Amino acid sequence: MKALETLDVAKLRQKLKEEAEQKTGGPPGSSPSAAGLSPLAARVAEQLRRANRSPSMILGQFGLMEFSWLVATSLLAGWLFVGSSSESLLYQAGLGALGAGIFLVFAQFADSFQIHTLRRPKRSLKRALSCWLLVVFLMLGVCLLRNAQLPTFYWLAGWALMSAVLIVIERYAMALAIRNWTRNGIIERRAVVVGGGEPAKQLIRALESQTDNDIRICGIFDDRQGDRSPSIVAGYPKLGTVAELVTFARETRIDMLIIALPITAEARILELLKMLWVLPVDIRLAAHSNSLRFRPRAYSHIGDVPMLDLVDKPIRDWDSVAKRVFDIVFSLGALAVFWPVMLLAAIAIKATSKGPVLFVQKRHGFNNEVIKVLKFRSMYTEMSDPTAKLAVTKNDPRVTPIGRLLRKSSMDELPQLFNVLRGDLSLVGPRPHAVQAQTRDRHYGDIVESYFARHRVKPGVTGWAQVKGWRGEVDTDEKIKGRTACDLYYIENWSLLLDLKILVMTPISLFNTENAY
């Protein structure tokens, strides 16, 4: 038993992954189900289309607001008690920023920036004011060490009192706001239970017993029927099969899938992961009733309910904000640099062939949504193929002379910078493929089982696959498998530094025009 108690959950995840890779040569995944939804599931999906607010984002915004208010009150106290000179105000602002930063660190350690704490104003105030008192004593020590003059102590006293009043007001206001958001379903983590019967019932009861629970159970999906998996479990309806769950999750804003199966059901868990990991959601395995016990750090928790993390949603919360800022800044910079080239390309296209300058094509975007991607038109209008069923080949007669130059240099992709600013694309990510893209009459999803896992993040103008040599025509199974493997590597290893590296490598990779037609 001791060996089981010290088993690392990473070994289970690795085993599941290795078994899945034996089929396709890549990580587990599947194409989206074509199964329709039951009338009940469709009604529930309609209610869940609106995006909810991430608790992590709200907590971060509240922390930034509190920091800003503390700095503002330090300036106000400086203006009232020290003077209005720019030098003195700058000095007070610096001290205020230092004190506000220390307060945020103390409050974080005291769990003062947690939804369950902020929901209860008395508990929240007790922790926040205790942290603020410590900050005031620290700032007093700083003033004594610097032999500060009397006005500085007046400033500190005024700042301490005004900030304390402010903390009381905003903490009560935040408690009211959180209760209202929770009641209206604005702030919550939406979860679907995968699996029915007694395990699902035990899980739901355990989650409902948590007093500070931001999880909303949106339904149950299970392939089993009859007594083993009744249509109603712990008051929640079974909305459909696991295959239908893929469609349901794509049409809604779901945050988490919780698998309610014993950890010993390894084969079934693997089967579920192969179907569900293509979705941009967290996938957790409920571990509250398992007799096996892992190391404590192997678990995450919803309240006191332990979970094993099988799949994490990529690029979430503040990472997505950072990536969006990165996209906007670098896209505007690219447009500032390349607008003369884009203007000349537009003139050349218009002057050498009839038809529009831009070509609009439907492609797969984030979470398999269909987006309209812009390109400079590189084909004769009467021969264009919006579906991309017939891939462009070497010396393709459909491509104009100007189009051939644009495609070899990838300048035909420059209008996609506007897609980035609009939010359809990211600068860096898996390249968006046309909805009907195929290789020798076979859709990409039929060739690579994990193909649709590429859509767990927003597609990009350039990507890891392109700078690693998988650019251009996709005419063999090996090429789409290679692209998909690179895309999945990017998703699993994303960072802003990796994005920057890919942007730097992109111009160099353009010299390889072997497969660019």
Per-residue pLDDT of the chain (517 residues; tens, 9 = 90+): 333 333 344 554 455 445 444 433 343 334 443 347 888 888 888 888 777 777 888 888 898 999 999 999 988 888 887 766 666 777 778 888 999 999 999 998 888 888 878 888 888 899 999 999 999 999 888 778 877 677 778 888 899 999 999 999 999 999 998 888 877 777 778 899 998 888 888 888 888 887 767 788 888 998 887 777 788 888 888 888 888 888 898 888 888 999 988 777 788 888 888 888 889 999 998 876 555 555 555 567 777 788 888 888 898 888 998 999 999 999 999 999 999 999 999 999 988 888 899 989 889 899 888 899 999 998 888 877 776 666 676 777 888 888 888 888 888 899 999 999 999 999 999 999 888 777 777 788 778 888 888 989 999 999 999 888 887 777 788 888 888 999 999 999 999 999 999 999 998 887 665 655 4
Which pLDDT score, from 0 to 100, does residue 2 have? 33
Q: Which CATH number fits domain 2-52+188-313: 1.10.8.10, 3.60.9.10, 1.10.8.60, 3.40.50.20?
A: 3.40.50.20
Q: Measured between alpha carbons, how far is 376 from 445 in angstroms, rounded to an integer?
A: 27
Give the single-character DSSP code of 37: P
Q: Read off φ and ψ for residue 310, nearest 5 degrees.
A: -95, -45
Residue 427: per-residue pLDDT: 95
* Residues with Cβ within 8 Å of residue 161, at least 6 apart in sequence: none
* 29 close to 449: Cβ distance less than 8 angstroms: yes
Q: What three-state secondary structure class fits 191?
A: strand
Burial class (CB in 10 A: 0-12, 13-18, 19+), 107: buried
Neighbours of 122 (CB within 10 A): 10
Rounded Cα distance between 168 and 281, Å, is 37
Cα Rg of the chain, angstroms: 28
User: How far is it, in rounded angstroms, from Cα 514 to Cα 517?
Assistant: 8
Distances (CA, A) of 99 to 69, 102, 151, 168: 12, 5, 18, 18
Contact status, residue 284 vs residue 258, Cβ threshold 8 Å: yes
**Residue 164 · residue 147 · CB < 8 Å:** no
Give CA–CA dist 437/104, Å, rounded. 50
SS3 content of the chain, % helix, strand, coil (to 5): 55, 15, 30
- Measuring CA to CA, how many Å separate 192 from each of 244, 260, 262, 404, 456? 12, 10, 17, 49, 18
- Return the structure tokens found at 39: 């009338």
Report the predicted TM-score, pTM, of the whole model to 2 decimal places.
0.77
Task: Please state, in angstroms and rounded to a whole number, the distance separating the CA atoms of residues 157 and 140.
Answer: 9
Number of H-type helices and E-type strands within the chain: 18, 14
- Contacts with 187 (C-beta within 8 Å, 6 or more apart), sequence order: 52, 53, 55, 58, 115, 178, 181, 214
Question: Burial letters for 406-420: b for 16+ Cβ neighbours within 10 Å, e otherwise?
Answer: bbebbbbbbbbbebb
Residues of the chain with CATH 3.40.50.20: 2-52+188-313
HEC per residue, 437-487:
CEECCEEHHHHCCCHHHHHHCCCEEECHHHHCCCCCCCCCHHHHHHHHHHH
Report the distance separating Cα 38 and Cα 389, nearest Å: 32
Q: Rounded to the nearest 5°, which phi and psi values hold at 260?
A: -100, 70
Q: Residue for token digits 């984002």? A: 57
What is the layout of strands, in order, in the sheet containing 236-240?
Answer: 232-233, 236-240, 215-221, 189-194, 256-259, 282-286, 305-311, 299-302
Say what the pLDDT of residue 516 is. Answer: 55
CA torsion sign, 57 to 250 to 25 to 467?
Answer: negative
- The candidate with the shortest Cα–Cα distance to 156, out of 167, 144, 168, is 144
Q: Which two tokens stand for residue 423?
A: 């939010």
C-alpha 21/C-alpha 442 separation (Å) is 21
**Cα(178)–Cα(182) distance, rounded to whole angstroms?**
6
